[in-house]
Amino acid sequence: MSEVNDPNQVPNEDQPPQVPPAVPQVTPPVEPALVASVATDAQPVAAAPAEDPAPAEDPAADKESARGSNFLLFQAVPSWMFSLAVHTVILVVLGLMVLVAPVEEMPSLTSVMTKNNLIEEIVDDLTEPIDEPVEITPTETLEVETEVNPIEDVSEVEEIEIADDVEAPVASVEFENIANQVAPQTDLLSSTESVVGSGLSGRGAEARGAMVREYGGTKESEAAVAMALKWIANHQNPDGGWSFDHTADGRRNCTCGNIGTLKTSFNGATAMALLPFLGAGNTHKKGEYKKQVEAGLYYLTRSMKVNGATGDLTDAGGRMYSHGLCAITLTEAFAMTKDRQLMAPAQMSLNFITYAQDPVGGGWRYKPRQAGDTSVVGWQLMALKSGHMAYLNVPKNTIAGCYKFLDSVQANSGATYGYTSPGGGHATTAVGLLCRMYLGWKKDEPALIRGVETISKWAPSKGDMYFNYYATQVMRHHGGPLWDKWNKTMRDHLVATQETGKGQCANTGSWNMGAGHGARVGGRLYNTALATMILEVYYRHMPIYAQQAAEDDFPL
């Protein structure tokens, strides 16, 4: 039997442990777990010197020897180590019986820090103080006593056809501090009394009577104006607008004849109806018809299709005709009242005119950017002039385009004008000459003198109120004996042909002209509005060539 080392002896760490000699197989064998446990804690057994093979022993002796070896092993191991070994075996067995759950891969420290930082950044963004909201003072709305119908669903806006030959940018206006930005950079009219204070000052109550007497009006002509305004007011629609079909919107029982066929031009009809009220000094601030004017202006501003800095007032029936009339209305109303609520709509309507100008020929027609015709050009230029008098922004290149267009349709060295090419039509000649006056032609311009003489020979028309409207302004501004002759004929004809039915006749105050430019499509409202403005010519605009109202040219 091999000698067992002292378990308390400390092994020499400088020498490798000695491997114990092989143990001969005995019966019964020692349990492997116990041997492994003991071998781990016990000191290695020293090798015995080589001896001759021992003689064979009997089985009883071998059995007794094995029991003695086992006893010595148990005696050599301390009790606490034995207990530890047993418990270790038990724990290992129990551990093998437990199902091991899969362990998820732990995130790296870098990823954890990144996620934490991201969360902190998101929280910081969410908790960052928000700037205090800007308090916006709501614009004061116009109060209208007239009952207004609720707005129906807006129909799809008709797409504007634009010429594809030239690409021009839309006029740009910033509306912050708009009063400073829309005014001309220099006071072009500071040396005259024509802007706002005098260009439209004849419409005031005090000046109106004096100018009627001085320039050829009469009590009868003023009475005719008063009756006409009443008829127009009585045919206003509940929503504040007007229609060339003056029997529309619940007025099917109206007995007034001469209904206009242009039933889809509500903007144009509304502007045409408002201009006579403004011409007689009525605004949304004062006058006998201020409520009607207020409702009409509200209708136009509500109908404007805003796109950036432009305000489009074209409609399906009137197209650019309608827009020009609306722009004149808005700019005149702003010039007369200085109401800042009208400044932006007025300027935006002028911006649309600038945008819609034909970039090649300089004119206007039915749709934006089309080659122009003299009739449409006249309304747009009148709007630009009214805006200029109101200190609104009118670009120089827009005015330069007007010169270019007029040069392209003039004949007889500028004495007569055609529609889209050089010619000498009655209405187009009157429009062309009035445009030349507003663009700076002097009173002694030879072509202007010849043109005035030509119009005088034609004389006022009995049915064409469109020609009469423009021609009367040309003759009035030029003045002299030819004007006196023209005025007497024109004034007396209108007073004599106005409807004056007795009692509650619905026609009273209106005109029914069945001939002439626009008479059929515009109907009774169109003719009545033009006839009224002709009778207002004495004070509607100050005379261009009078010393107290000499207006500077457009800026170029």
In the predicted model, what is the mean pLDDT of residues 311-315?
97
How many residues can be counted in the chain? 556
Rounded-to-integer distance, Cα 503 and Cα 187, Å: 53
Confirm whether 273 is domain-assigned. Answer: yes
In the predicted model, what is the mean pLDDT of residues 448-476?
98
Q: Could you tell me where the beta strands, DSSP code E, fall in 3-97?
A: none
In the predicted model, what is the mean pLDDT of residues 124-146?
42
Which residue has better confidence, 325 or 16?
Answer: 325
Q: Residue 553: pLDDT band by 50, 70, 90 thresholds?
A: low
- Exposure string for 144-174, b = 16+ CB within 10 A, e = fewer: bebebeeeeeeeeeeeeeeeeeeeeeebebe
Q: Residue 323: pLDDT band by 50, 70, 90 thresholds?
A: very high
What CATH code is carried by the domain that includes residue 344? 1.50.10.20
User: Is residue 254 scored above 50 in pLDDT?
Assistant: yes
**Would you say 218 and 537 are in contact if contact means Cβ atoms under 8 Å apart?**
no
Confirm whether 149 is domain-assigned. Answer: no
User: Is residue 26 scored above 70 in pLDDT?
Assistant: no
User: Is residue 92 scored above 90 in pLDDT?
Assistant: no
| Runs of H (alpha helix) within 421-514 | 426-438, 446-458, 465-478, 481-497
Q: Residue 346: pLDDT band by 50, 70, 90 thresholds?
A: very high
**Would you say 372 and 420 are in contact if contact means Cβ atoms under 8 Å apart?**
yes
Q: Among 176, 555, 539, 141, which Cα is nearest to 387's? A: 555
In the predicted model, what is the mean pLDDT of residues 232-259?
84
Confirm whether 95 is domain-assigned. Answer: no
Confirm whether 90 is domain-assigned. Answer: no
User: Is residue 458 scored above 70 in pLDDT?
Assistant: yes
Phi-psi region of 353 (alpha: psi -120 to 50; beta: other; left: phi over 0): alpha
Q: How far is CA 181 from the centre of its chain?
A: 19
Q: Residue 366: give the domain boundaries.
A: 195-548
Confirm whether 76 is domain-assigned. Answer: no
Which residue has better confidence, 29 or 463?
Answer: 463
Rounded-to-integer distance, Cα 64 and Cα 22, Å: 20
Q: Residue 513: pLDDT band by 50, 70, 90 thresholds?
A: confident
Confirm whether 426 is domain-assigned. Answer: yes
How does pLDDT run across 187-215, given as a tens digit for each residue? Answer: 333 322 333 344 676 677 778 888 999 99
Q: Would you list the DSSP string of 328-369?
A: HHHHHHHHHH--TTTHHHHHHHHHHHHHHS-TTT----SSTT
Q: Residue 22: pLDDT band by 50, 70, 90 thresholds?
A: very low
User: Is residue 449 scored above 70 in pLDDT?
Assistant: yes
Q: How far is CA 527 from the centre of its chain?
A: 36
Confirm whether 188 is domain-assigned. Answer: no
pTM: 0.66
Question: What mean pLDDT is reported for the chain?
Answer: 75
Q: Residue 515: pLDDT band by 50, 70, 90 thresholds?
A: confident
306 — phi, psi (to 5°)? -90, 130
* Total number of domains constituting the chain: 1
In this structure, of 28-37, 198-207, 277-286, the range with the lowest mean pLDDT score is 28-37
How does pLDDT run across 158-169, given as a tens digit for each residue? Answer: 333 333 333 333
Q: Would you list the DSSP string of 278-291?
A: HHTT--SSSSTTHH
Rounded-to-integer distance, Cα 314 and Cα 356, Å: 11
Rounded-to-integer distance, Cα 225 and Cα 276, Å: 9
User: Is residue 170 scored above 90 in pLDDT?
Assistant: no
Confirm whether 357 is domain-assigned. Answer: yes
User: Is residue 343 scored above 60 in pLDDT?
Assistant: yes
User: Is residue 129 scored above 50 in pLDDT?
Assistant: no
What is the pLDDT, as a whole number, of residue 83?
73
